[in-house]
Structure 1
Amino acid sequence: MNRWTIGAVAAVTLALPPLLPERHLATFVLLLLAATVTVGVSLLMGYAGQVSLGQASFYAIGAYAAALPAVHGVPTLLGLALAPVAAAVAAVLLGAPLLRLRGHHLAFATLAVQLILLSLLAQADWAGGAIGLQGVPRLTIVGVELRDVGYAYTAWLVLAAALLIARNVVDSRPGRALRAAATSETAAAASGVAVGRHRLAVFTLSAAMAGLAGGVYAFYLGYLSPGSFPVLLSIEFVVMAVVGGLGTIAGPVVGATVIVLLVQLLNTLGTLPGMPDYAPSVLSYAVYAVLLIVCVLYLPRGLAPALRLRRTADPNA
């Protein structure tokens, strides 16, 4: 994207929150948070060449790390600051052994981590157990308690920070080292790249992004439970990254927008009179399956690169 396009998108998205009704504003906030997590997934998969099916684990860790202290009287802003730190620490502890795995072995291992985490949260009374953690206070910044529009702008700032960090990482020397390692680990190591250290760093960074988004999510909803972070959510983040375009900065935003809006539309259709109770979930699964198939067959690089190539090919577009 050029500067004019980025400026136009920023201006439109900043003007939207006060104009949206409450139902659509909630979708807007959740879209921004999903895009933030997807930025980390895109970094991990598109630049480091590692597949994670457990990104919702770090989303959950950030959410609980922010909410639990706040429930016990700790200032909410401090709780929010703890969210990315807790997720990053968990990523370092888990990534050190897990990143020795490759390909589908790593994907299954991260999936197992999420299943274990959900089981532990469901059994932990201090985290609310299966019933969930209730009474999470509203996020308060400089004495002002945020309302829905305030959360929209907070989520916007979180996404903007994630995109800026991702762009700086990609354009840096470590970013070039990551791309080299994703292309050929052996050649990168022979060139002096510390492959393991760089992969752990990007794994930790992607977890911190998910954790920060999870912290905002906790204060926005005011309630957390293990059911808020299903395995399908991790798969959803991967689908967003693939559909938008792995290895691109704009791809996570494009992918999250397409997936969230389509799922929202299909959920609305699934709840129409005469539709069975299972219609919304079935339609959601269908969206993921169809979009993945279409992207693999016709848009293997994702929507963002395809749109950029079209603009290049057609100057009048």
Structure 2
Amino acid sequence: MKIAVTLLVAAATLAIPPLLSASQLTIYILIGVAAMATVGLSLLLGYAGQVSLGQASFTAIGGYTAALLAIHTGYPWLGLLAAPIAAAACAALIGVPILRLRGHQLAFATLALQLILLSVLDQASWAGGAIGLQGIPRLSFGSMVLDSDVAYAYLAWVGVALTMVVARNLVGSRTGRGLRALATSEIGAAASGVPVGGYRLLVFTVSAAFAGLAGGIYAFYVGYLSPGSFPVLLSIQYVVMAVVGGLGTIWGALLGTAVVTLLVQLLSTLATRPDMPDYAPAVLSYAVYAVLLVITALFLPRGLAGSAATRGRKADTWT
């Protein structure tokens, strides 16, 4: 059954892009980009129990790495390959000291890291400063150049498939069982022989790599990057997507990303109507995340995917 559903979703994913309008295709691509980062964050939050408010910082690292290598080497494919590697390397480097923290202290530390990164990028001339990097070339592999939105839609969703496969294999492995034990009780996991520090660093690094890949694809698709492309609100958005979809479920990250993105787009369209006040876009963009978190906590504590799975098991029991 699961294989059939997976194949059906894959077929729909491949069939959708040519049928969409230009604006719809843009949203479709952005859902794919956000889903990659959210899958990584779902691993970190749901399976390792670690709270991060700086996931967008690794998206920025991946995006800037891809853009700078593409501009200065002339090999865009090399930039895309290096994007997740650079993000993972940075996560491994900073993860050693900050992962000693717990709970809200870790959350604030990751938030501080993003603020520091944005400040550095804003002042760094090699990164374009506040103006940003312009003229990022289209992604190419030899003579094949991705110069259409449909091509980037396929690329983004290939990235989603790759991250979901890696995440699924990690969760189903012995390491994944150790991560679940770690999320339940670090003391109990350590007593059972789980290398707590190593596993925490591993999942933090993998999560960052997923975000870095998302940033690399985003850089080539947009063709322009600036510090404003990766605000703190983007990290909050990833958290909301993971929570709404359901922590501890790989498919939940994808579902939460789609629901939140479409809802935000709908509210953005509503907020820009001529009869709406000037402050409506800003208010709605922040309010929607708060409302979604409250509704999820009250009525869907396991998220959309977790609640659906629970209801499915209950239905099987009654039949």
Task: Quickly name the TM-score band, shorter chain normalised.
Answer: over 0.9
Asked whether 1:45 is paired with 2:52, we answer no
Aligned CA distance change for structure 1 residues 192 and 314 (closer, same or farther; 3 Å): closer
Q: Provide the rounded CA distance (Å) in 1 between the counterparts of 2:204 and 2:143.
A: 34
Question: 2:84 — aligned with what?
Answer: 84
> How far does residue 270 in structure 1 lie from its aligned partner after superposition?
0.9
> How far does residue 275 in structure 1 lie from its aligned partner after superposition?
1.4
> How far does residue 3 in structure 1 lie from its aligned partner after superposition?
1.6
> How far does residue 74 in structure 1 lie from its aligned partner after superposition?
2.8
Q: Provide the rounded CA distance (Å) in 1 between the counterparts of 2:83 and 2:94.
A: 17
> How far does residue 187 in structure 1 lie from its aligned partner after superposition?
1.3
Question: Could you tell me which amino acid in structure 2 is paired with residue 142 of structure 1?
Answer: G
> How far does residue 278 in structure 1 lie from its aligned partner after superposition?
2.5
Q: Provide the rounded CA distance (Å) in 2 between the counterparts of 1:298 and 1:153.
A: 35
Q: Provide the rounded CA distance (Å) in 1 between the counterparts of 2:62 and 2:221.
A: 13
> How far does residue 73 in structure 1 lie from its aligned partner after superposition?
3.5
Structure 1 residues 223-242: aligned runs within 5 Å: 223-242=224-243
Asked whether 1:133 is paired with 2:133, we answer yes
TM-score, structure 1 normalization: 0.97
> How far does residue 11 in structure 1 lie from its aligned partner after superposition?
1.2
Seq. identity, %: 64
* 3-state SS of paired residue (1:72): helix
Question: 1:246 — aligned with what?
Answer: 247
> How far does residue 145 in structure 1 lie from its aligned partner after superposition?
1.3
Question: 1:274 — aligned with what?
Answer: 275
Q: Provide the rounded CA distance (Å) in 2 between the counterparts of 1:301 and 1:202.
A: 21
1:56-79 deviation digits (Å, cap 9, x = unpaired): 000000000000111123300001
> How far does residue 15 in structure 1 lie from its aligned partner after superposition?
0.6
Moved more, 272-281 or 130-139: 272-281
Q: Provide the rounded CA distance (Å) in 1 between the counterparts of 2:236 and 2:22.
A: 27
Q: Provide the rounded CA distance (Å) in 1 between the counterparts of 2:132 and 2:9.
A: 37
> How far does residue 306 in structure 1 lie from its aligned partner after superposition?
1.1
Question: Could you tell me which amino acid in structure 1 is paired with residue 193 of structure 2?
Answer: G
Structure 1 residues 83-232: aligned runs within 5 Å: 83-146=83-146, 147-232=148-233
> How far does residue 124 in structure 1 lie from its aligned partner after superposition?
0.3
1:234-291 deviation digits (Å, cap 9, x = unpaired): 0000000000000011110010001000000011111111212321221121211111
Q: Provide the rounded CA distance (Å) in 2 between the counterparts of 1:66 and 1:166.
A: 23
Question: 1:13 — aligned with what?
Answer: 13
Question: Could you tell me which amino acid in structure 2 is paired with residue 272 of structure 1?
Answer: R
Q: Provide the rounded CA distance (Å) in 2 between the counterparts of 1:72 and 1:92.
A: 26
Question: 2:75 — aligned with what?
Answer: 75
CA RMSD in angstroms comes to 1.4
Question: Could you tell me which amino acid in structure 1 is paired with residue 120 of structure 2?
Answer: L
1:91-132 deviation digits (Å, cap 9, x = unpaired): 011100000000000000000000000000000011000011
Question: Could you tell me which amino acid in structure 1 is paired with residue 299 of structure 2?
Answer: Y
1:36-67 deviation digits (Å, cap 9, x = unpaired): 10000000000000000000000000000000
* 3-state SS of paired residue (1:53): coil
1:210-247 deviation digits (Å, cap 9, x = unpaired): 00110000000000000000000000000000000000
Q: Provide the rounded CA distance (Å) in 2 between the counterparts of 1:74 and 1:141.
A: 11
Structure 2 unaligned regions, length at least 5 = none
Question: 1:304 — aligned with what?
Answer: 305
Q: Provide the rounded CA distance (Å) in 2 between the counterparts of 1:185 and 1:54.
A: 23
* 3-state SS of paired residue (1:80): helix
Q: Provide the rounded CA distance (Å) in 2 between the counterparts of 1:83 and 1:115.
A: 20
Question: Could you tell me which amino acid in structure 2 is paired with residue 175 of structure 1?
Answer: G
Q: Provide the rounded CA distance (Å) in 2 between the counterparts of 1:313 and 1:199.
A: 34
Moved more, 159-168 or 4-13: 4-13
Structure 1 residues 52-71: aligned runs within 5 Å: 52-71=52-71
Question: Could you tell me which amino acid in structure 2 is paired with residue 78 of structure 1?
Answer: L
Question: 1:30 — aligned with what?
Answer: 30
* 3-state SS of paired residue (1:132): coil
> How far does residue 86 in structure 1 lie from its aligned partner after superposition?
0.5
Number of aligned positions between the proteins: 317
Q: Provide the rounded CA distance (Å) in 2 between the counterparts of 1:280 and 1:25.
A: 22
Q: Provide the rounded CA distance (Å) in 2 between the counterparts of 1:136 and 1:9.
A: 32
